[in-house]
Amino acid sequence: MEANLIQRDERLRELEKEQAETKAYVKMIQEDIRDIRQNIREIKTRGEASGRSQAVDSWQQVVIELIKLASLSMVILGAIVGAVKIIGN
């Protein structure tokens, strides 16, 4: 009986410690979210001031390059499939 009480007490202390750690992590995450929101506001403000945000322009360039890469991959795959069909027949 006494051993169970000791185990419960230890478990309770452990849970309290974990809860305190969780609260600390939640606070850190909330601070990170505030920082991200502030950064987004700054980017929007800069974008509105200059007409377009540089971040949007850079993402557009990334997307364009990815589309080029995807189309090149399709051409290469098509060439490989065509060569296999020609060689196979």
CA–CA separation, 64 vs 47, rounded Å? Answer: 20
- Check whether residue 61 and residue 45 sit in a common domain: no
**Nearest 5°: CA angle at 83, between 77 and 88?**
125
pLDDT of residue 58: 75
- pLDDT tens-place values along the chain, 89 residues long: 788 888 988 988 888 888 888 888 888 888 888 888 888 888 777 766 565 556 667 778 888 889 989 988 888 888 888 888 888 75
CA–CA separation, 18 vs 24, rounded Å? Answer: 10
Please report, in angstroms and rounded to a whole number, the separation of the first and last CA atoms in the chain: 82
- Check whether residue 89 and residue 62 sit in a common domain: yes
- Check whether residue 44 and residue 2 sit in a common domain: yes
How many structural domains is the chain composed of?
2
- Check whether residue 32 and residue 1 sit in a common domain: yes
**Can you give the pTM of this predicted structure?**
0.45
- Check whether residue 3 and residue 46 sit in a common domain: yes
Full residue range of the structural domain in which residue 2 is found:
1-51
With the CA atoms of 35, 38, 44 and 50 taken in that order, what torsion angle do they form, in degrees rounded to the nearest 10?
-100
E strand or H helix at 24, and its extent?
A: helix 2-50
- Check whether residue 46 and residue 61 sit in a common domain: no
